[in-house]
Each structure stands twice: as C-alpha cells, then as structure tokens.
Amino acid sequence: NVSHSLSARDGKAFDFGAEDSQTELRAAVDLPLNRRSQRNGFRQSLINYQVARRSLMELEDNIKFSARQDLRQLSLDRVQYDISVISAALASERVYSTQLELSLGLATVTARDFLEAQRDYRANLSSVANGRLGYIVNRAKLAFDLELMLLDDDGLWPELNQEQYQPESNGVFPSNAGPTYGELPRGVWPSTKIKRMQGVRPPG
C-alpha cells in the first residue's frame, strides 16, 4: 500500500512553493518473509490426514479379513461335520460288531476291545455335537462381524434356530437307528443337559 500527502503552510493548495510546502510518501509492504508457523501447521494437517486415511484403510482391511476368515471357517466346519458324522456311524458299527463277536465267544475279541469301541463311539458323538454347536457359533460370529446380528427384546438372536444357520445334515437316516446321540444306560443319573440330547430329532 502506498499513500501520498501534500501540505502547504499558507493554506493555498494550488499556490505553493518548495519552501512553503511539505510532501509525505508512505509505503506499507506485507511480504511473506516469515511463514514458518503457517507451513508447519499445513504440514501437520497433511500428516494427520494421511494417518487418518491409513487408519481407515486398515480398519476396512481388518473387516474384510475377518469376514473371509469366518467364511473359510464355516466351509471347514461343514466338511468336518460330515466327517464327524461318518466317524460316529463307523464307531457305532464297531461297537455293534465288537459286541456281537464278544457274545459269540471269539478268541480274538476281549472285553477290553468292547470298552475301547464304546469309548471311541462316545468321543465321536462328542465331536458331532461340538461340530454342530461350533458351526452355529461361527455363523453367529459372521453375522456379528458383518453387523447383521439383530437381537430381539429378550436379547436373543432370532436366526439362531433357523435351518439355514445349521450344518447340512444327511437326508438318509434309518428309522430304526434309535436316538441321535444314543440311549442312556440304566442306573445312572445324567444331568438335565444330557437328558435334552434324547429329544434331538434325527438328521434329515
């Protein structure tokens, strides 16, 4: 900015001389001589933006990774569930065949073999139950990670009992096969949770 002023001693603006007048010239210059604080603030803003942007990208990657892991785990659960069902069926056949051979008095079969067959059968039944429950838990985890889990007024997940959230079952199941998890022996006092297993309907 530049300003100019002219003053005369006798008050006559158009009748002045060099000795009777005074001239002033003012100049104000605003140059960016020192903008360090502004540069530092702008640089910090850029750094904060990049940090927030990378944090958002990391969050998106973690969500995608969790969803993919859940889907892989569900695929693995389906395969393992079918394997556990087949293993339980084979273990049941082993118990039946071992009991039959023991009743016939074959020398190659002992009571220890029958007890081992029963132990393996119980272990395989536990694998079937754990696989079924694990599949449901992992489906719930997938819905939770995708923010699709909506609870009802009682705090429960309504989709928990839907068939599509259960592992696929084998449609071929003999009608005379008995309870799904076997029969409870007499003379024992099972818990309420064990008794509920008697009411589980056969697959298919």
pLDDT at 204: 46
Global pTM value? 0.53
Q: Is residue 130 part of a domain?
A: yes
Q: Is residue 189 part of a domain?
A: no
Residues 82 and 16 in one domain: no
Residues 98 and 18 in one domain: no
Full residue range of the structural domain in which residue 21 is found: 1-30
112 neighbors 90 (Cβ within 8 angstroms)? no
* Secondary structure of residue 7 in the 3-state scheme: strand
- Domains contained in the chain, number: 2
Q: Is residue 39 part of a domain?
A: no
Residues 24 and 80 in one domain: no
CA distance 139 to 133: 10
Residues 82 and 148 in one domain: yes
Residues 87 and 154 in one domain: yes
Q: Is residue 20 part of a domain?
A: yes
Q: Is residue 192 part of a domain?
A: no
pLDDT at 53: 94
Residues 92 and 158 in one domain: yes
Q: Is residue 187 part of a domain?
A: no
- The answer for residues whose C-beta is within 8 angstroms of residue 17's C-beta and 6 or more apart is none
State which amino acid sits at residue 64. K
Q: What share of the chain is helix, strand, coil (3-state, %, to 5)?
A: 60, 5, 35
Residues in the chain: 204
Residues 20 and 81 in one domain: no
Residue 162 has φ and ψ, to the nearest 5°, of -75, 145
Residues 152 and 78 in one domain: yes
Q: What is the mean pLDDT of each run of 10 residues along the chain (204 residues)?
A: 57 57 64 73 92 93 88 87 86 85 81 88 90 86 83 79 63 56 56 60 52
